[in-house]
């Protein structure tokens, strides 16, 4: 698969029509389509599910969805998908940010640099 057969779209407000158009074209032409950040449009995922049921995709068509965990993500999409997970690696910066966010301003103000 060359780069000419790969399409991607970062989901967000106002991207639903573009996503459906890309999905239909990709299914017909056998492209790989990646819809990124679908957790931002979780209320639209029912439309996506219905569209997927109606497609007659080319054998080379693939749909990739990227998402963060969301309590309202439709279970049927999860059940019908091959899932690959990546978690951010632990690191000093992230751990310090998490710890700092849990401290109250008064606790931070009481600290001493000596």
The 3-state secondary structure of the chain, one letter per residue: CCHHHEEEEECCCCCHHHHHHHHHHHHHHCCEEEEECHHHHHHHHHHHHHHHHHCCCCCCCEEEECCCCCCCCCHHHHHCCCCCCCCCCCCHHHHHHHHHHHCCHHHHHHCCCC
**Residue at 110 is within a domain:** no
Residue 114: predicted pLDDT:
44
**Where residue 89 sits, what CATH number does that domain have?**
3.40.50.300
pLDDT digits (tens, 9 = 90+) for 27-63: 999 999 999 999 999 999 999 999 999 999 999 999 9
**Residue at 19 is within a domain:** yes
**Residues of the domain holding 94:** 3-103
Which whole number is the average pLDDT over 60-71?
94
């Amino acid at each position: 698969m060359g780069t000419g057969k790969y399409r991607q779209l970062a989901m967000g407000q106002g991207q639903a029509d573009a996503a459906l158009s890309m999905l239909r074209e990709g299914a017909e032409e056998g492209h790989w389509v990646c819809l990124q950040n679908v957790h931002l449009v979780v209320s639209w995922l029912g439309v996506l599910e219905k569209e997927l049921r109606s497609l007659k995709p080319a054998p080379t068509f693939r749909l990739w969805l990227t998402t963060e965990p969301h309590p309202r993500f439709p279970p049927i999409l999860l059940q019908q998908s091959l899932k690959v997970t990546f978690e951010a690696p632990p690191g000093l910066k992230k751990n310090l940010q998490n710890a700092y966010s849990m401290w109250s301003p008064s606790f931070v103000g009481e600290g001493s640099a000596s």
